[in-house]
A and B are shown apart, each in its own frame.
Chain A
Amino acid sequence: MDMLLDYPTLKVIWWLLVGVLLVGFAIMDGHDMGVGTLLPFVGQNDVERRVVINTVGPHWDGNQVWFITAGGAIFAAWPLVYATAFSGFYWAMLAVLWALFFRPVGFDYRSKIHHPTWRKVWDWGLFIGGFVPPLIFGVAFGNLLQGVPFHFDDNLVPYYTGSFWGLLNPFALLCGVVSSAMVTFHGGVYLMHRTEDEVYQRSRRWVNVTGLLTVVAFSLAGLWLAWGIDGFVISSVVNPAAQPDPLAKTVVKQAGAWLANYQQWPLAMALPVLAYIGFLAALWLANRGRTLAAFVASSVAMTGVIGTAGISMFPFVMPSSTDLRSSLTVWDSVSSHKTLGIMLVAVVIFMPIIIAYTRWAYGVMSGKVTAAYIRENEHSAY
C-alpha cells in the first residue's frame, strides 16, 4: 500500500480515518452512552430501568470498542498526538477512564442482586459512565480549538504547562454541552426505537429537549468560534512529504483563521449544514414515530458536528497556545509512511467485516424490549 500511495496522501487519508473512527464512536458508543445518561430519568421503576438497560445490553461492549480502537489508531497513526494529548489532559483522561469503569460492572452486575440500593447505585454508575465521557470529549475539543498550553524540548519530550481547571473555560464548557446534548439526543432517539409505552413517551420528551439544546449550543459555539476565537496558521512553507518534525515549522495566530478552510473549499460548508439538517430531520421524524429514520438522521447530524470541528482546524490537530511551532498538524505528528500504509490495509480489511457482524448482531436482537421480555428472562437479562 505504501507503494501505491504517497506519504502526503496517506497523511490526509489518516486524518479522514481518525475522523471516521470518532464518528463511529459517536454513533455506536454514543447511543449507549446517551441511554446511560437517560436511564435514571426515563426509567421510573425497576422493570422500566431493566427495559432501558437491555436495549443496549447485548451491544454496549462491542460499541465501546469503537472508542478503544480510535485510541489505538491515534496511537498508531499520530503517536505524538496520543502522547501529548493523553499526558497533557491527564486528569481529564482519568476522569473519562474512571467514569467508564462503571459501565462493564454496571451492566453485568446490576441485576444479579435483587437489593434495591444495590441496583440504584449501579443505575447512577451507568449514568456517570454515559454522561461524563461525552461531556469531557466536548470540553477537550473546545480546548483544541483554542490551542493547548504545551511545548516540546529538542528531544521531542512533551511538556504540558496548563492546569486541569484551565480546561474548564467558558467556550470549552459550551462545546461540552454540544457534545453531551447531542449524544443524549442520539441515545433518546435509539430508546424510542427500542421501547414502548411510558419509556417511549419519556424518551420522546427528552429527545425534544436535548435536540433543541444541541442546535442552540452548536449555533452559539459556531458564532463564538467565528468571531471570538483566533485560529492558527502555518506561516512557513508546508512540505506535506517531509519527515514529521513539529519543531521544523513556524505558526501564527490569526483572527478568523478557523474560517479560512470554508473560503478555500466552499464545499466544506456542507458539514455544518449537514449537522443542522440532520438534527431537524431527526426531531421531525422522531416525533412522527419514524424512529429508525430518526436514528439515521441523528447519526448524520453528529457526523456533521464532528466534521465541522475537524475541517475548521485542518491541518491542525492540536495547536499549542504557548509555543506556536510545537503545534501538532496532520503533516508533522504522524507515523512513518510504512506504518500508515500497513494500518490502512488493516482498516480496509477489518472495518467492513466489523460492520457486517455488528449489523448481524443488532439484527438478531432487534425489536422492542418489553416489560414482558424482562419478566420472562428474569435470570439472564441485565
Chain B
Amino acid sequence: MTEELVNLSRLQFAVTAMYHFLFVPLTLGMTWLLVIMESVYVMTGKVIYKDMTRFWGKLFGINFALGVTTGITLEFQFGTNWAYYSHYVGDIFGAPLAIEGLMAFFLESTFIGLFFFGWDRLSKQQHLLVTLLMAVGTNLSALWILIANGWMQNPVGAEFSYETMRMEMVDFAAVLFNPDAQAKFVHTVSAGYVTGAMFVLSISSWYLLKKRDVEFAKNSFRIAAAFGFASVCSVIVLGDESGYVVGEAQQTKLAAMEAMWETEPAPASFNLIAIPNEAEMKNDFAIHIPWLMGLIGTRSLDQQIPGIKDIVAHNRERIVSGISAVKALEQLRQDQSNTAAKAVFEKHKADLGFGLLLRKYTADVGTATPEMIDQAARSTIPKVAPMFWSFRVMVALGFAMLLLFGLALWYSIKGNFAEKSGFLRTAVWCLPMPWIACEVGWFVAEYGRQPWTIYGVLPTHLSVSTLSPASLYGSLAGFIAFYTVLLIVEMYLMIRFAKQGPGSLGTGRYLNEAIAH
C-alpha cells in the first residue's frame, strides 16, 4: 500500500463523511422538534402548530434529501475503498450496519413519505404517530452507526482467528453495550438536537427582526429555546462522560487532545491554552488549571493519566511483542498444526495489531530495525496541535451555545424576546455554530483514533483497497464536483424557502404567498 493511496483513501472518506455530517445533525434534531410541534397541534387543535410542523418539515425535507444522498456513499465506501478493513472486521462491524438498515432506515424512510403526503389521508393521531416513528427511526439509525463506530474506538467482544485471518464476534452484548458507543450515542444525538434547535431559533429570530409572521415565529422560537437549552445541557454533561470514557479506552487520544507530554502526579492539571511543539515533545507555552484534568479524566484525585512520552514507551514494548505475534501468524498460515507457533501466537496475540503497524515501514515485519520500531511507536500518537485546538473549539462553542440558549429560554419565560433586537441579531449570526462544533467533534473522534481504523487492532495503513492512486484522484474529483453542485442547490432552496417563510405552504394565512409562482 503506497502512502499516496492511503492518504487519498483517508481524504475521500473524510470529505464524504464530513459532508454527510452537515445534514445528519439537523435531521436528528428537527424530527423531534416536528414531533413537539405536532403534539401541541394535536393536543390544542391550534392550526398554527400544524402550519409550523409543515413549514419546518418542508425545510427538514430539503435537508433530509441530501442526508440520504450522501449517506449511501458511506455504506458503499467501506467496500469500495476499505476492502481489507471490510474483510478483517466485517464479522463484527457489518452486523450493526445491517441492523441499522432493518431497524432504522426502513422505519424513517417509510414514514417520511407518509409525513409529507399523509396529511389528508390520516387522522391527526395517526399522523402524529407517523412523525414520531420517523423521529424514532432517525435516532435509532444514529444508535446503530455509533455502536459500529464505538467498536472502532474500543473493539470489545471480538477476537482474532488465525484460521480465517480476521476478527470474529465472541460477545455481541459487549459490542452493543460498549461504554464508548453508549457515551458517543447520547453525546452525538444531543448535538443533533442542539443543531435543530439553533436552526429554528435563528430563522425565527430573523422573522422577528423583520417583524413578519410574528405569531408563527414566536411560537417556533419558544419551542426551540426550551428544546435547545435542554439539549445543550445534555451535550455538555454527556460530552464530559465521553471524555471520561476516552480516558479509559484511548489514552493516546486523550493525551493528544490535552497536549500532555509528561505523566504528571495525580491529579493532573488541565492545559487551558498551549502551543504544542511536536518535534521536541513539549509545550512551548501553556496556561494550566491545577487538578482539573485528573478530575475530568479519572474522576479521582489519586489516579494518574499517562503522558505522551510514557504512552510511546509502553507502545514500543507492545510493538516488539507484536513482532512475535506477526511472525507466529505467518507460520500458522503455512501450517495450522504448528503447535509451537500457536503457543507463541496465543501469548502475543493481544499485540498483533501493534506488530502490524510495522507493515507501513517493511513488508517483512520480522526484519524491522530499531529505528522503524521507534518510528512506529511515535506514530501511535496522533498529531497534537490539531487535536488540542479542535477539541477546544468544540468545547468553547458548546459553552457559547449554552449561554445563547440560556438567554433565549430566559427571555421566552419573560415573554419579551420579540423586542430584544440585539439578542435576535446575535441568534441569527450564531446559526453556523452547531455545525462547526459537530464537524470538529467528528474530527477529534476520528483523527484522534489514528493511526488505527480499529483502535489497537488494525492500522489504517493496511485497511485500504488495492486501487490505483489514479482511481482515487478520479473518484475524489467526482465526489467533490457532485457535492459542490448539490450543496449549492440545497443552500439555494433552503435560503429561498426560509426567506419566503410559512407563506410557501399556500394556506392563505401568511406573507409572501405568491413568491413561488
Contact = CB atoms under 8 A, between A and B. Distances in A.
Given A82-B94, A103-B69, A354-B102, 20 more contacts: A61-B113, A65-B105, A75-B79, A76-B95, A79-B90, A82-B79, A86-B78, A86-B79, A86-B83, A101-B486, A109-B62, A109-B65, A156-B165, A158-B466, A339-B95, A354-B110, A357-B107, A361-B111, A365-B121, A379-B516
A109 B489 contact: yes
A76 B78 CA distance: 12
Interface string A54-84: 0001111110110011011101110110111
Chain A interface residue bracket vs B: 35 or more
A342 interface: yes
A156 B167 CA distance: 13
B505 A379 contact: yes
Interface of B: 54, 61-62, 64-66, 68-69, 72-73, 75-76, 78-81, 83-87, 90-95, 97-103, 105-107, 109-114, 116-119, 121-122, 161, 163-166, 168-170, 172, 330, 333, 465-467, 471, 475, 478, 482, 486, 489-490, 493, 497, 504-506, 516-517
Contacts of A87: 79-81, 83, 465-467
A380 B168 contact: no
10 contacts: A61-B110, A73-B98, A75-B93, A79-B94, A87-B466, A100-B72, A101-B486, A350-B103, A365-B117, A380-B119
Contacts of A346: 95, 98-99, 102-103
B92 to A, nearest CB: 7
A378 interface: yes
Contacts, number: 247
A76 B94 contact: yes
A244 B94 contact: no
B87 A79 contact: yes
Contacts of A262: none
Interface of A: 57-62, 64-65, 68-69, 71-73, 75-77, 79-80, 82-87, 90-91, 93-94, 97-98, 100-101, 103-105, 107-109, 112-114, 154-160, 243-245, 335-336, 338-339, 342-343, 346-347, 350-351, 354, 357-358, 361, 364-365, 378-381
B169 A90 contact: no
Contacts of B65: 104-105, 107-109
A158 B86 CA distance: 11
B109 A65 contact: yes
A201 B87 CA distance: 50
Contacts of B93: 75
Contacts of B92: 339
B79 A58 contact: no
Contacts of A243: 161, 163-164
B326 to A, nearest CB: 10
Contact of A365 (B91, B102, B114, B516): B114
A94 B73 CA distance: 9
A19 to B, nearest CB: 15
Contacts of A105: 65-66, 69, 486, 489-490
B515 to A, nearest CB: 10
A101 B69 contact: yes
Contact of B109 (A62, A72, A156): A62
Given A68-B72, A84-B83, A338 B62 contact: no
